[in-house]
């Protein structure tokens, strides 16, 4: 099993509904996002996937969140936009793009701060 990882980021605002504390108020983060994909066999070039292609796919996915108020996005009108839920959202948006390229999406990690990270995998 081979795996590769790319790292990207986005900036956005959110507020956590029902949370008793500072995060109930509108605030923003610069989220760091790691995407890890795998393949059992390498392609003809000896790669899982071109890093540039993977970065582009992750970028297209993060474009939907970047500089947005996440609570206002259709998906998050009922789902609380916690880092965990944002991680799952990114996973589900990115997964079909990865499958089209005959690779598997292993894991998405979303860092809300330098010391706090949410992880989603199936």
Active site residues: 23, 67, 112
Binding mask 16-45 for Zn ion (x = CB under 5 A): -------x----------------------
Residue closer to Zn ion by CB (options 23, 99) is 23
Residue nearest to Zn ion (CB): 23
Closest approach of Zn ion to the CB of residue 1, in Å: 34
Q: State the SS3 of the chain.
A: CEEEEEEEEEEEEECCCCCCCHHHCCEEEEEEEEEEEEECCCCCCCCCCCHHHHHHHHHHHHHCCCCCEHHHCHHHCCCCCCHHHHHHHHHHHHHHHHHHCCCEEEEEEEEEECCEEEEECC
Q: Which residues bind Zn ion (CB under 5 A)?
A: 23
């Amino acid at each position: 099993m081979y795996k590769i990882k790319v790292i990207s980021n986005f900036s956005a605002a959110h507020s956590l509904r029902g949370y008793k504390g500072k995060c109930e108020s509108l605030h923003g983060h610069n989220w760091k996002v790691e995407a890890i994909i795998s393949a059992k066999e390498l392609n003809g070039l000896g790669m899982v996937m071109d890093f540039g292609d993977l970065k582009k796919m992750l970028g297209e996915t993060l474009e939907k969140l970047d500089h947005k108020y996440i609570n206002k996005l259709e998906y998050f009108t009922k789902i609380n936009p916690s880092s965990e839920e944002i991680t799952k959202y990114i996973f589900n948006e990115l997964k079909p793009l990865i499958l089209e390229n005959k690779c598997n999406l292993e894991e998405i990690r979303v860092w809300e701060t330098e010391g706090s990270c949410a992880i989603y995998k199936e």
